[in-house]
Amino acid sequence: MLARLYKNNQNAMTRISLLHGLGHWLARPHRSLVARYTLLSVLVISIALVTLAVLYEQLAKDLLNRLTGERLDAQALSTANRLSSFLDDRFYQLSALSNHPNMPGFIATPSGSGSDVESLLKLEADSPFLYGVLFFDEHDRLLNVLPGQAASGEPYWTRRDWSISGLPVARVGDVEVIGPLLAGPGRSGGFLIRKTIRNGRTDHRVRIALHLRLASLTELLVSAGMSGVVAPLLRVPGGAFIDPTGRQVQAPKQWRDGPQIIPGWQLVFSVQPGAILKPLNDARWWLYWVAAGFIAFIVVVFFTLSRQLRARVSTLLQGAQQLSMGDLSYRLAEQPRDDEISHVARAFNVMAERLADVLDRTVRTENLAVLGTFATGVAHEVRNPLATMKTTVQALLRREEEPERRHLLTDLGKEIDRLSHVTSDLLEYGRPHPAQPRAVAVEPLFEQVARRVAADMQARGVTLHCRAEAGLELYVDPDQVQQILLNLCLNALQASQPGDGVQLHAQARGERVRVTVIDQGCGIPAGDLQQIRQPFFTSKARGTGLGLSICQQLLEANGAPMDIISTLGAGTAVTLDFCAPPGKEAK
């Protein structure tokens, strides 16, 4: 017992705590965006509820006025006209059949000269509102039947016990309206319109009748009333009431007479006064309760969303604190939903990556500056001794006559030249010149590069193909871009085999110009692609590892990124993205 009381007390305290938190949250709309949206939503729903209540009152009054006014009379007259028009069409159809010149002959000899009449009768019998065509003698005995598509039961499949005696008969001119035959178990409702065939070769009077579906007439009542309030009915001879489906219903407690269609057939309206306003009043109260439930639901939903939003925003705040502490490797977890918070989280991760990239580039720039200073000092100290060694070797080579020693001195001179080239690269890397960009025509630039590498290309058996759009220009330092393209073409040449080709292409891309160097050489391993731009990294036996580093340095000075795509054994494509001259968009 004590445990149960303790548990109930705890549940009550929990509910009180939640209500207190909800009230505290709604009391501070200036500090919570969700709370402001909640109060605004509640206000909008309340205004809408009051407006709907006023409209409901007006609708109820207007409905009473319409029911007791001229609208129902106009609907009754329109419905009566539809029913009368339907019967007039059937009367005309019956007259056309009875007055057919070959009809007497068809009655006398059904399978003889009246075959055209038989076709006409079958065509008429297939109408959707007909069960069939019947023929009677002057004593109302059934002579013949011609069933239609809707025919069923008596008198089409059997004539036993079927008779029209005792059915009400109403006359409209020379047409008799017989019935109705009310629907019952296994029997569909219907009525007959009958007319005497004009005398001909027959010796006695024969009458033709159209057996009509009762529902084909009553279904015209569907649009005449108001559902649940006013129901249209058809009162037939004998006092029976027929609903729009063609079935007999109980006599209504209250009804309003409408126009008479034919003698004994009258349109009436069943009126239920108690059902006019009660549904509206019930609906209004249900609307109040539903609206109150919606308001409570919105408050709870917004309160829950506020707690979830605060939890998700706290992760953003934690990420910002980690970033402010210098932890650039911190990344927010991928959000499960694609909403605004997810977009902010992704933007935060992108910002952290860019900051890390900027910091890495700054550190790399500082390291490269120190390395450049060191390389410049080494190159300066090595260059002068190399020049002295080169002069001495050249002097000894002129005086030496023995072939073996001349060969050794020649090899020594080539190695000195290679070391001199390395020191020149070190000086170039350690003391880069600032770019002086200007408009440079691409076609003359490609021709100049091709001339400078032509001898090496020819010696190696490799072909250089240059292609550029006419009038295309770059906005770069002319000397530096020539050095970049020359280094890239020489790298492509060194990676190619005899018979391969190297392509040098330029293409306009909006305000940029894309220059591509493609070779069919050995390619670069995927593991080396991340390091080939680093100074002194090389996979060549006699390379210095400064070619691509110098190219990268010069491209950064000209604001042109470099992208390298390589497939091992298939070749390499180096893409450079240069600026077009200012005010002149590349086309």
In this structure, what CATH number is given to the domain that contains residue 457? 3.30.565.10
Residue at a domain's end among 393, 426, 459: 426
Residue 323 lies in a domain: no
Indicate if 153 and 129 belong to the same structural domain. yes
Mean pLDDT over all residues of the chain? 76
Residue 481 lies in a domain: yes
pLDDT in tens, 175-234: 999 989 888 777 788 899 999 887 655 456 788 899 998 888 888 887 655 555 677 888
Residues 385-401: what's their mean pLDDT? Answer: 76
pLDDT at 493 over 80: yes
pLDDT in tens, 496-526: 888 888 888 888 887 888 888 888 887 777 6
pLDDT at 238 over 60: yes
Task: Tell me the backbone φ, ψ of residue 566, rounded to 5 degrees.
Answer: -140, 140
Alpha-carbon span 485 to 466, nearest angstrom: 12
Residue at a domain's end among 219, 254, 271: 271
Indicate if 519 and 562 belong to the same structural domain. yes
End-to-end Cα spacing for the chain: 89
pLDDT in tens, 143-177: 888 888 888 778 887 777 778 888 899 999 889 99
Indicate if 422 and 463 belong to the same structural domain. no
Residue at a domain's end among 426, 453, 484: 426
pLDDT in tens, 568-587: 877 888 888 888 888 665 44
Indicate if 211 and 117 belong to the same structural domain. yes
Alpha-carbon span 367 to 167, nearest angstrom: 116
The three-class DSSP label of residue 544 is coil
Indicate if 403 and 540 belong to the same structural domain. no
Q: Contact, 462 vs 500, CB < 8 A?
A: yes
Q: At CA 494, angle to CA 489 and CA 495, rounded to 5?
A: 100
Residue 94 lies in a domain: yes
Provide the number of structural domains found in the chain. 3
Alpha-carbon span 209 to 93, nearest angstrom: 11
Domain that holds residue 374: 340-426
Task: Tell me the backbone φ, ψ of residue 131, rounded to 5 degrees.
Answer: -80, -40
Indicate if 419 and 438 belong to the same structural domain. no
pLDDT in tens, 425-445: 665 655 566 778 888 888 888
Indicate if 438 and 420 belong to the same structural domain. no
Q: In terms of pLDDT, which residue wins out, 275 or 549?
A: 549
pLDDT of res. 177: 93
| DSSP assignment string, 169-207 | EEEETTEEEEEEE--BTTB--EEEEEEEPPPSS-SS-EE
Q: How confident is the model at residue 374 (pLDDT cuts 50, 70, 90)?
A: low
Beta-carbon-side half-sphere exposure of residue 321 (alpha carbons within 13 Å):
6
Give the percent of the chain with pLDDT over 90.
3
Residues 68-82: what's their mean pLDDT? Answer: 75
Cα 292 to chain centroid distance, Å, stands at 35
Alpha-carbon span 394 to 399, nearest angstrom: 9
Q: Indicate whether this model's pTM tops 0.75.
A: no
Indicate if 218 and 356 belong to the same structural domain. no
- Beta-carbon contacts of 124 under 8 Å, excluding residues fewer than 6 positions away, are 93, 97, 130, 133, 210
Alpha-carbon span 504 to 510, nearest angstrom: 20
Indicate if 419 and 445 belong to the same structural domain. no
Indicate if 82 and 224 belong to the same structural domain. yes
Residue 6 lies in a domain: no
Q: Which residues pair with 130 in a beta bridge?
A: 212
> Residue 347's CB: how many other CB atoms inside 10 A?
11
Indicate if 156 and 238 belong to the same structural domain. yes
Cα 297 to chain centroid distance, Å, stands at 30
Residue 112 lies in a domain: yes
Q: How confident is the model at residue 114 (pLDDT cuts 50, 70, 90)?
A: very low
pLDDT of res. 64: 59
**Tell me, what CATH number does 178's domain have?**
3.30.450.20
Residue 24 lies in a domain: no
Indicate if 262 and 365 belong to the same structural domain. no
Residue 353 lies in a domain: yes
pLDDT at 1 over 50: no
Residue 153 lies in a domain: yes
User: How do the residues of the chain divide into helix, strand and coil, expressed in percent and rounded to 5?
Assistant: 50, 20, 30
